[in-house]
Structure 1
């Protein structure tokens, strides 16, 4: 069992792109998130955070800004052997801390794990509150017409 003090969360570096791609590909293969191309990960690397345990990247998440006061926490994924050990919570905490530093007042997620985000203080809301997200990302999603994700929001 991993202790939370063993988890190092940091801003991703270019050399982390392959690890991020591997972790997220497993979730995409299970239909739990959209596949991210290596180019997309590299292009957005400064918006990613990674969690390391013993020098190994075991989780990731990213932030995406929509307005001066609204941002999304996205692409949260943790390696199988490290789930339920606080890795995801630590990644969300880091993302929220950065958003607060930037002056963002509200964070949102679209998730298939509402119980996890509820424990982090998020509340379910209507997806229509985020038209920017829908127009930017959802229109190219194969699940557009039958989206099963839950929109959740948290005041920072």
Structure 2
């Protein structure tokens, strides 16, 4: 008697815009990275306020990853808060989310993306290069100083955020 085994194929990972119902799962994904000091912690209220900036990677209703695109200026955005569930690290989930964020950036008219990261090989494989110099003109720098967003302050490399950015690498990609 021959026993046939059914081959179960995992459902595909879908990357889509985040919804408010995803925020608690996003926070759970982010927290282990915060504990390792790879990502900055985000208050729940901050995640709800910024939910429209996020995409999530989902399979069978389970949130496997999240990442955000924050517009800094007319041509410049920042990729933020990319987090992937431990069980799918290295399975292309981060890659798919980054591609979706870059497509969103192009749709918005951005031509450059910035990130502040410890994950230099991941971003390097996607065309980001390390930058040391200021990537905006002095005039735009002055305008950005008016922002109340902490991530913008990190981008500007302001002294009061130095403890948050120690060890991170500033990277930029031209789209």
Using the size of structure 2 for normalisation, the TM-score is: 0.80
Residues 128, 82 of structure 1: CA spacing in aligned structure 2 closer, same or farther, 3 A cutoff? same
Instruction: Check whether the contact 2:11–2:60 (CA below 8 A) recurs between aligned residues.
Output: no
Please report how far the alpha carbon of residue 128 of structure 1 lies from its aligned counterpart in structure 2 after TM superposition: 3.2
After TM superposition, the runs of 4+ consecutive aligned structure 1 residues lying more than 2 A away are 127-142
Between 129-138 and 103-112, the greater mean CA deviation after superposition? 129-138
5+ residue gaps, structure 2: 1-8
Q: Does 1:122 align with 2:128?
A: yes
What is the match of residue 153 of structure 1? 172
Q: 1:143 aligns with which of 155, 163, 166?
A: 163
Instruction: Check whether the contact 1:127–1:150 (CA below 8 A) recurs between aligned residues.
Output: no
Between 83-92 and 119-128, the greater mean CA deviation after superposition? 119-128
Please report how far the alpha carbon of residue 126 of structure 1 lies from its aligned counterpart in structure 2 after TM superposition: 1.3
Using the size of structure 1 for normalisation, the TM-score is: 0.89
Alpha-carbon distance in structure 2 between the residues aligned to 1:12 and 1:20:
9
SS at match of 2:34: helix
Alpha-carbon distance in structure 1 between the residues aligned to 2:151 and 2:94:
27
5+ residue gaps, structure 1: none
The number of equivalent residue pairs is 153
Alpha-carbon distance in structure 2 between the residues aligned to 1:4 and 1:120:
26
SS at match of 1:121: coil
For 1:69-121, what per-residue CA distance to the aligned partner results, in whole angstroms no more than 9, with x for missing partners? Answer: 00000100001001000000000000000000111000111100100001111
Please report how far the alpha carbon of residue 7 of structure 1 lies from its aligned counterpart in structure 2 after TM superposition: 1.2
Q: 1:49 aligns with which of 55, 66, 75?
A: 55
What is the match of residue 93 of structure 2? 87
Alpha-carbon distance in structure 2 between the residues aligned to 1:108 and 1:16:
25
Taking only aligned residues, the RMSD between alpha carbons, in angstroms, comes to: 2.3
Please report how far the alpha carbon of residue 129 of structure 1 lies from its aligned counterpart in structure 2 after TM superposition: 2.6
Alpha-carbon distance in structure 2 between the residues aligned to 1:106 and 1:83:
26
Instruction: Check whether the contact 1:61–1:73 (CA below 8 A) recurs between aligned residues.
Output: yes
What is the match of residue 113 of structure 1? 119
Residues 77, 53 of structure 1: CA spacing in aligned structure 2 closer, same or farther, 3 A cutoff? same
